[in-house]
């Protein structure tokens, strides 16, 4: 394995009833002003809002609400939240929701105390954060991104048509509360797309060097098998607590940096989907489902050893002396079959992206990452996009 240094500063509380059990005490470590951040209001319909507000009020907190965080949080929304936090002298940001809410809150925690332009200084390029962001705690209600246990935040700059993420460890939430029951009210489509996002994260890490046997890949293979098993179970019975709790922790494990240790990582497919989302606002997990098989067909020959291992160890395809290249392709097609089995989109048309979309401009805007088994050109990204129509 390659050299690494590991630390994760987020204290995580997992299980049924953990919000009722721990939030009051956790909130007590901070000042009286809490900014409660959430999305379109589903937490008011499913009872989570009332439960959290009751706990905060009993803890003597003054609550400022910041709602309407969208599925692809924008830089404009970040600045709006930062202004509200400064105006109300917020002591703790509490994000309640899925990845978009958590990502937006991390960016707000920086913008609320930074006097410069956080986009220019920390998202357009990597920056050095030598100050303390506002403290952030999160309550997860939708799984998939794994944002609850890292400092990563994906933000869309609408004016520039750029969707990008950076992971700053100092932005890790101070605490994360994960009650699987809170995810039961998530619509089926969102549950499936979130689960596929988890699988995508693991694959993007797994399909990268080193190719020698290593602990990170061993864990990743187990996680991938688990996500596949648990997604199938949750589709069959959305109230299967075992499946939903497993999916919640699998999402966290995919992005709490553990399986990245000693790995180069890829994430080229994520960069392609991010730019697709910046231009079309498509669903993230569904966009990945369309792109992954096409992308992997382009690179599996260059990474045949790992893709063949994926076929055998994750999908259970018998090796039987098959050539590596044949096994590698079989693993990709097993993934494509699973995507169809889940009912996820398999073409841009199903995402509402038609032939009139300027795919060439989107392709040109995609960053080229160094970790892929095959370094793509912008022309090849355009070819992949065309294959997805």
Nearest residue to 103 (alpha-carbon basis) of 142, 52, 62: 142
- In whole angstroms, give the CA distance from residue 318 to residue 150: 37
Domain edges within the chain: 11-183, 188-387
The size of the chain, in residues, is 389
Q: Is 64 exposed, middle or buried (0-12, 13-18, 19+ CB in 10 A)?
A: middle
User: Cα 121–272–228 angle (5° rounding)?
Assistant: 115
Stretches where the chain sits below pLDDT 50 are: none
Residue 99's pLDDT is: 97
- Say whether pTM exceeds 0.85: yes
Tokens of residue 362, six digits: 């989107």
CA dist., res. 148 & res. 178, Å (int): 9
Cα separation of 362 and 295, whole Å?
Answer: 15
Structure tokens given for 261? 């240790």
DSSP states of 369-384 as a string? PS-SSS---HHHHHHH
Whether the CB-CB separation of 58 and 87 falls below 8 Å is answered with no
CATH code for residues 11-183: 3.40.50.1970
Q: In the chain, which ranges are E strands? A: 11-14, 33-37, 62-66, 92-97, 136-140, 152-157, 162-167, 175-178
Nearest to 220 by CA among 262, 258, 192: 258
Buried b (16+ CB within 10 A) or exposed e, 326-336: ebbbbbbbbbb
What residues does 157 pair with on adjacent strands? 162
Is 188-387 a CATH 1.20.1090.10 domain? yes
**Which positions ≥6 away from 363 have C-beta within 8 Å?**
275, 378, 379, 381, 382, 385
């Amino acid at each position: 394995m390659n050299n690494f240094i590991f630390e994760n500063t987020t204290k995580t509380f997992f299980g049924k009833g953990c919000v009722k059990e721990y939030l009051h005490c956790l909130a007590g470590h901070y000042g009286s002003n809490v900014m409660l951040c959430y999305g379109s209001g589903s937490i008011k319909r499913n009872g989570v809002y009332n439960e959290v507000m009751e706990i905060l009020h009993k803890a003597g907190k003054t609550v400022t609400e910041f709602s309407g965080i969208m599925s692809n949080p924008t830089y404009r929304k970040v600045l709006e939240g930062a202004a509200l936090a400064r105006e109300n002298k917020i002591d703790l940001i509490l994000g309640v929701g899925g990845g978009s809410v958590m990502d937006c809150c991390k960016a707000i925690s920086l913008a609320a105390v930074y006097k410069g332009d956080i986009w220019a200084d920390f998202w357009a390029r990597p920056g050095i954060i030598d100050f303390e962001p506002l403290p952030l705690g999160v309550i997860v209600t939708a799984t998939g991104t794994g944002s609850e246990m890292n400092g990563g935040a994906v933000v869309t700059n609408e004016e520039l048509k750029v969707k990008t993420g950076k992971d700053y460890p100092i932005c890790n939430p101070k605490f994360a509360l994960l009650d699987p029951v809170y995810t039961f009210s998530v619509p089926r489509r969102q549950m499936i797309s979130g689960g596929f996002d988890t699988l995508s994260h693991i694959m993007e890490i797994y399909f990268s060097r080193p190719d020698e046997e290593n602990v990170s890949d061993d864990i990743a293979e187990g996680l991938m098998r688990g996500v596949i098993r648990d997604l199938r179970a949750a589709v069959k019975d959305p109230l299967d607590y075992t499946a939903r709790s497993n999916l919640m922790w699998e999402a966290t494990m995919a992005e709490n940096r553990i399986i990245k240790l000693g790995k180069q990582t890829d994430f080229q497919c994520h960069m392609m989907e991010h730019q697709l989302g910046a231009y079309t606002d498509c669903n993230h997990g569904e966009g990945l489902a369309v792109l992954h098989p096409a992308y992997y067909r382009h690179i599996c020959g260059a990474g045949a050893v790992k893709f063949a291992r994926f076929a055998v160890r994750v999908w259970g395809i018998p090796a039987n002396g098959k050539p590596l290249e044949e096994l590698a392709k079989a693993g990709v097609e097993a993934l494509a079959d699973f995507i169809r089995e889940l009912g996820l989109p398999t073409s841009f048309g199903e995402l509402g992206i038609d032939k009139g979309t300027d795919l060439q401009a989107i392709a040109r805007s995609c960053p080229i990452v160094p970790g892929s088994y095959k370094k793509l050109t912008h022309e090849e990204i355009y070819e992949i996009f065309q294959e997805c129509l």
